[in-house]
Amino acid sequence: MARHPSPTARRRLPPSGRRSPLRPGGAGRAVHRSPRGEDSQRPAASPLPCEGGTNIAFTPTAAAGLWDEGHSAGPHRAAPARSPQPSAPLSPPPPPPARLRGGGHEAAAVYKKPPGRERRDHRAASAAGGPRQTTGSDTMAQSVWGYDSDNGPERWHENYPMAKGDKQSPIEINSKDVRHDSSLAPWHASYDPGAAKTILNNGRTCRVVFDDSFDRSVLRGGPLTGAYRLRQLHLHWGSSDDHGSEHVIDGVKYAAELHMVHWNPKHGNFAGALKQPDGVAVVGIFLKVGKTPKPEMKRILEEIDNIKTKGKEAPFQHFDPSILFPKSRDYWTYHGSFTTPPCEECITWILLREPIEVSPDQMAKLRSLSKSGENEAMNPLVDNWRPPQPVKGRVVRASFK
């Protein structure tokens, strides 16, 4: 088998591309909740992870379409924009107040997209912080982070200084720089299908949430010490099949990337794990459009009609996510961060070499999600990926030759 199976296309293709036909939202049994950050997911009392990380207490509110600000997650405000200096050592910005730590996947303000504003092509801006486009008073402090021109990856650092840290993710992996490490053990997952709870659309991704109150579904081995608990999985995808993944392999982008987020219970809780370099382990799986689509994706995709709009959440029970693994357990590993604010650098990445295949219809289904609320105009949830960040001397190890 090819060392790196070829996905459909190379990077840097125009994003415009096709948009899948949009369908009217299917309400089904979905319930509506205030959307939270990608990782947030729990009702009050339980800590919430962000897509990336972050746990925050969530208080359900009736404010449909608004971000629930109760949990804090406000951005670190007023950090003046710095000139981009990708390789320069960071002078550490003042840490955000404790209550903001980990809450970052939420912002304190309601974001409203200015009418008529076009999507920015954030592919054009370098990961290292290409020229920032600022327009008038349009500051991040007034908006929630996202993937648009006015709140996208190039601007996250304004409110989340960690986004310019030394161990950010994703990265581009170049085979020539990878170090084979024969001491890397195989990894293995032991998942309890009964741990699956809900599926939701938070306006930034589609996420499945698992019960992680005890060692119920765990990941072990590989570069890890001890068992890490599965907390949630979510996806990043593009507006067309030639881009959408966050990690890039030898210049190649895949149509989507699945992240399975696990945390290390030795740190007490998820919020505690976010503060530790060995706190979180994410298994990353590339999705490639192909002729032998993986039927196992069906279960997630068939629920999508129930969570069409931001804030929708539906029951999602009895699901074993290990059915999504490719055949090969070969992986790359490196130390990095969440790819969404606040971009905590607590992640041991385990990126699987072999992609899984999805059909064009399955990708269209993902793109039929809306990042707007139920009573707002359809706004396709696409291109929710962060571009590669500076490697800054980190070494990527491979379990295979």
Residue 179, strand partner residues:
397
Distance CA 37, CA 108 (A): 11
Which stretch, 25-33, 131-139, 162-170, 256-264, contacts Zn ion (CB under 5 A)? 256-264
Q: Which is nearer to Zn ion, 25 or 170 (CB)?
A: 170
Which stretch, 76-84, 136-144, 159-167, 252-260, contacts Zn ion (CB under 5 A)? 252-260
Which stretch, 70-78, 177-185, 258-266, 295-303, contacts Zn ion (CB under 5 A)? 258-266
Number of amino acids touching Zn ion (CB under 5 A): 1
Q: Which is nearer to Zn ion, 259 or 294 (CB)?
A: 259
| 259 contacts Zn ion (rule: CB under 5 A) | yes
Coil, helix or strand for 300? Answer: helix
Q: Which is nearer to Zn ion, 229 or 259 (CB)?
A: 259
Q: Which residues contact 19 (CB under 8 A, 6 or more apart)?
A: 239, 367, 380, 382
Q: Which is nearer to Zn ion, 103 or 170 (CB)?
A: 170
Least distance to Zn ion, CB of residue 246, Å: 7
Distance of alpha carbon 286 from the chain centroid: 13
Q: Which is nearer to Zn ion, 79 or 282 (CB)?
A: 282
What pairing do the DSSP bridges indicate for beta strands 228-237 and 356-358? unpaired
Least distance to Zn ion, CB of residue 261, Å: 7
| 247 contacts Zn ion (rule: CB under 5 A) | no
Q: H helices of 227-319, where?
A: 270-273, 298-302
Least distance to Zn ion, CB of residue 51, Å: 5
Residue 198, strand partner residues:
209, 315
Nearest residue by C-beta to Zn ion?
259
| 365 contacts Zn ion (rule: CB under 5 A) | no
Whether the bond between 342 and the residue before it is cis, its omega within 30 degrees of 0, is yes
Is the distance from CB of 179 to CB of 401 less than 8 angstroms? no
Rg (CA), the chain: 19
Least distance to Zn ion, CB of residue 52, Å: 6
Is the distance from CB of 91 to CB of 171 less than 8 angstroms? no
Q: Which is nearer to Zn ion, 218 or 261 (CB)?
A: 261
Interaction site with Zn ion (CB under 5 A): 259
